[in-house]
Every structure is written in structure tokens, then in C-alpha cells.
């Protein structure tokens, strides 16, 4: 398996865990924490989208899912 694919899989796993916790706790987070966490997650997801674009064949469905995830934050 290509190293980029392995790295992308690891990043997606981390994103999944972090977003799940974020969504679970966002109602009780202070505004500053909420904004900071959202920015970090958004950047991480954008990096994953960029990495996914470098993988061949390009996983367009994953890229679309990640873009949708940003909107859900």
C-alpha cells in the first residue's frame, strides 16, 4: 500500500475521533475553545483533502465527505 494512502487512513481516523468528540462536547464548550477547536479541525480536514487529491486514483467520494464534514462543524 502506498505511504500516502496509509498516512491518509491514519489522518482520517484521527479526524473521525476528534470530530466525534467535538460534536459531542460543543454544546458545553466555552466560545474560545469552540472556535479554536473548529479551526484546528477545519485545517486538519483541509490537509486531508489536499493529501487525498495526491492519491491515485483520487478518492473523490472521500474528498466530498470531508468537505461536507467541514460544513457540519
- Domain boundaries along the sequence of the chain: 3-72
pTM of structure? 0.91
Helices assigned H by DSSP within 26-59: 31-54
Q: Which residues touch 52 (CB under 8 Å, ≥6 apart)?
A: 8, 58, 59, 62, 63, 66
pLDDT at 28: 95
The string of pLDDT tens digits covering residues 19-51 is: 999 999 999 999 999 999 999 999 999 999 999
Q: Which residues touch 26 (CB under 8 Å, ≥6 apart)?
A: 34, 37
Please check whether residue 38 is in contact with residue 73, taking contact to mean a CB–CB distance below 8 angstroms: yes
Mean pLDDT, rounded, for 14-18: 97
Amino acid at each position: 500500500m502506498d505511504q500516502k494512502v496509509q498516512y491518509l487512513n491514519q489522518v482520517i481516523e484521527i479526524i473521525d475521533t476528534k470530530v466525534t468528540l467535538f460534536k459531542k462536547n460543543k454544546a458545553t464548550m466555552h466560545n474560545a475553545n469552540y472556535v479554536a477547536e473548529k479551526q484546528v479541525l477545519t485545517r486538519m480536514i483541509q490537509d486531508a483533502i489536499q493529501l487525498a487529491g495526491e492519491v491515485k486514483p483520487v478518492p473523490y467520494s472521500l474528498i466530498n465527505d470531508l468537505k461536507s464534514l467541514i460544513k457540519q462543524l
